[in-house]
Amino acid sequence: MKIVRSILSWVLPIIIGLAIAAVIRQFVFTMVRVDGPSMDPNLENGERVAVVKPLKVRHLSVIVFNAYHVDPDASGKNEKYVKRVIGMPGDTVKAQDGHIYVNGKPISQKFISQFERTQGTGNWDVGSLSERNNWNLKTTKVPANSYFVLGDHRSVSNDSRYWGFVPASRVIGVVKVPLWTSNQTRRHNVNNLAY
């Protein structure tokens, strides 16, 4: 009996700790690695970021979502993309001469350079994108329970301009850059721009 108590005295705390960690990872936050250059200059390829699951998605939030069945080129059931939310449900979104308009109003894009705004963004609206890319859903607005997302490095980003909207059900959480992994400007551009 002493041996059983002795074993339980150190096994039980380990099991409880693992259970708590699993619950936190499932419902509160997890860490992911940025894969590719689509979020440059604010997130770098290979950078590890926190994904906070309970945070509300807002305009300019950086999110992580499961891209399987969102992007036809997503190869695996657990392929995750990191992108910035530009359009919320019901929004109109348009790009013209390096400016992005949401519901007819220009949004601030100070989080990327003038070069990044004008090279690769193109001139379009949601309706012309849906026609050009032959989306199943022909619409001029972001549908209910969906988001329109772009990468910050527009000229290399595979995003909503090509495959359409991200269903809210595919969103894993909102990205937050930890204090120790980035400079202050980049951290601000990811953590503090949502409105």
- Residues 45-100 pLDDT 10s: 999 999 999 899 999 999 999 999 999 988 888 899 999 999 999 999 999 988 99
> 139-165: per-residue pLDDT in tens?
889 999 999 999 999 999 999 999 999
Provide φ and ψ at 113, rounded to 5°: -75, 165
Q: Are the C-beta atoms of 176 and 28 separated by less than 8 Å?
A: no
* pLDDT confidence tier of residue 38, bands split at 50, 70 and 90: very high
Q: Which of 38, 157, 160, 182 is catalytic?
A: 38
How many whole angstroms separate alpha carbon 143 and alpha carbon 93?
A: 12
- Concerning whether 176 is annotated as a catalytic residue, the answer is no
- Concerning whether 38 is annotated as a catalytic residue, the answer is yes
Q: Which of 2, 6, 61, 83 is catalytic?
A: 83
Asked, as a colleague might, if the bond just before 37 is cis with ω within 30 of 0, I would say no
How many other CB atoms are there within 10 angstroms of residue 130's CB atom? Answer: 18
pTM (2 d.p.):
0.87
Domains of the chain: 30-191 (2.10.109.10)
How many whole angstroms separate alpha carbon 56 and alpha carbon 60?
A: 12
